[in-house]
Amino acid sequence: MRHDLVVIVPGIMGTSLLHEGRDVWDLSPGALAGLLRPGRLRGRLVLREGIGDDDPEGESALTPGAMIEAPRVLPGFVSHLGYRDLLAGLDIQPPERLAVFRYDWRLSNRNSAAKLRTFVERRLALWRERIDRSRHPDAGDPKVVFLCRSMGGLVVKYYLECLGGREITRTVATLGTPHQGSAKAIRFLTGRVVPGTPPWISEWLAEICGTFPSLGQLLPSYRAVMTASPRPRPLNATGIADRLSLPTAMVDDMFRFHEQIRNDRIRNDQAGRPGYRLVPLGGHGLRTVHGVSVVGDRITFLDSFDESGDWQGDSTVPTISATPAELESTVYTHWFPFRHATLANEAPVLAALREICQSVDVRRYLASDAEFAVDLPDFAVAGEPMEITAPDADPALRLSARLLSQDGRQVLPGVPLRPDGQGGLRCELRAPAGLWTLEVRSRKRGVGHRDAVLVTGADASGPAPG
């Protein structure tokens, strides 16, 4: 919605990392050699072994600075052109409606998600206070629209599903996010970067960045390893991590990370917690590393798993990973013929993002906003849950269900209908035995539906007097 808070969550190298005001992750040509040379600067970047989801201490504790606007390249792994065009192209007004989450992208995505929760709750509260409702009477209750670049999408997904962020989120747009990881991370973490990269760069970067939990969580969770078996195998298959020289603990942590998001998403859906619109945008049409072949001592990186010709991507993230697993098919992703490095800066992508940020609920113009259908039961057992659903109702209607006696008195407190994750609303009521009137009413519009419901005793002895 056009009044929602827009939060940008950048990916790897999206935020400068400062020590005493100086960016210690400066990847400009003049600074790269000094960055990779042993000494104090390198020591500040390396994280301690076994840091897990914790914060760094001592000289490794860096302060997130501004979002990077100029181009940056991590040789052999990832690059981007900065976020200057993205910020200018979105043109979010007023400026207070846009927030940029700055974080230490070396750390575990769980750690970053916890910090995102604090950041978003504070900024959303400020925006709700500042919005001029005299000029925007239709603003309702603003929520959050997330624009996630690359790894930033993983941070947001963990926040939404595992830390309660669904309650205040309306839309999530992921831009080149490796939802199932990227095989390119294997190259980088093992020092096997693209041919032509000077060995000293690959060695130093693998040593430094191999201490970053976030990079381990970018390893592919899909079946990415070809062996003598006709079917690709996952990284946690017996012996695979050792043969690739990947730390087993890093691989195990990656699978736990994705499994927790998946399991919590399923639990949230089953519990009827508010859903959100998921809009993935990705690059396609380019040769992209999908996996790795391990035959004896020979390790070969693969652009495809067969001869079908369907194996494409944005040169960093494969199409099979740019699509969230819960959407099941790449048909739901918006595809653009651009590289990972440029995806956030191309005019067609910026136009799509502007539409996401300024979206209008067309239902307001297609029918009366007071119209909604409700499925009400006409029979129930005392103490057992009665399910009440409004399949296509707008949450802004603020629907509530209540039980009335035959003389119109309210028998039970009203129960609000919540988003069911399928585009509708639902709730459950437990009623005593009797013949009642079941009412679902919009607290905002003052309209509703009623029907009679017969509730028998648990022993089926018949209803109590109404």
Decide if pLDDT at 285 tops 70.
Answer: yes
**Residue located via tokens 């699509």:** 323
Q: Give me the helices (H) in 358-416, please.
A: 363-366
Structure tokens at 100: 């940029």
Greatest alpha-carbon pair distance for the chain in Å reads 86
pLDDT, residue 348, reads: 92
Phi then psi dihedrals of residue 39, to 5 deg: 150, -165
The residue among 125 and 379 whose pLDDT is bigger is 125
pLDDT, residue 74, reads: 64
CA-based nearest residue to 417, from 374, 361, 383, 453: 374
For the stretch 82-109, pLDDT in tens is 788 888 889 898 899 999 999 999 999 9
Structure tokens at 340: 């990972």
pLDDT, residue 141, reads: 82
Q: How far apart are CA 174 and CA 153, in angstroms?
A: 6
For the stretch 261-283, pLDDT in tens is 999 999 999 998 889 999 999 99
The pLDDT > 90 percentage for the chain reads 51
pLDDT, residue 461, reads: 45
For the stretch 227-251, pLDDT in tens is 988 889 999 999 999 999 999 999 9
For the stretch 129-180, pLDDT in tens is 988 766 666 667 899 999 999 999 999 999 999 999 999 999 999 999 999 9
Decide if pLDDT at 466 tops 50.
Answer: no
CB 26 within 8 A of CB 35: yes
Average pLDDT, the chain: 86
Q: How confident is the model at residue 423 (pLDDT cuts 50, 70, 90)?
A: confident
Strand partners, 389: 375, 426
Neighbours of 48 (CB within 10 A): 12
For the stretch 27-80, pLDDT in tens is 665 555 555 555 544 678 899 999 999 999 998 999 999 998 877 766 555 666
Mean pLDDT is lowest, of 209-213, 353-357, 363-367, for 363-367
In terms of DSSP bridges, do strands 448-456 and 434-442 run parallel, antiparallel, or are they unpaired?
A: antiparallel
Determine the average pLDDT of the residues in 356-367: 67
Q: How far apart are CA 65 and CA 83, in angstroms?
A: 14
Determine the average pLDDT of the residues in 390-410: 86
CA-based nearest residue to 146, from 11, 266, 335: 11
pLDDT, residue 465, reads: 42
pLDDT, residue 137, reads: 62
The residue among 12 and 27 whose pLDDT is bigger is 12
Domains recognised in the chain with CATH numbers: 5-357 (3.40.50), 367-456 (2.60.40.10)
Mean pLDDT is lowest, of 14-18, 367-371, 398-402, for 367-371
Decide if pLDDT at 325 tops 60.
Answer: yes
The residue among 6 and 421 whose pLDDT is bigger is 6
Determine the average pLDDT of the residues in 188-200: 76
Give 32's contacts (C-beta < 8 A, 6+ positions apart): 26, 201
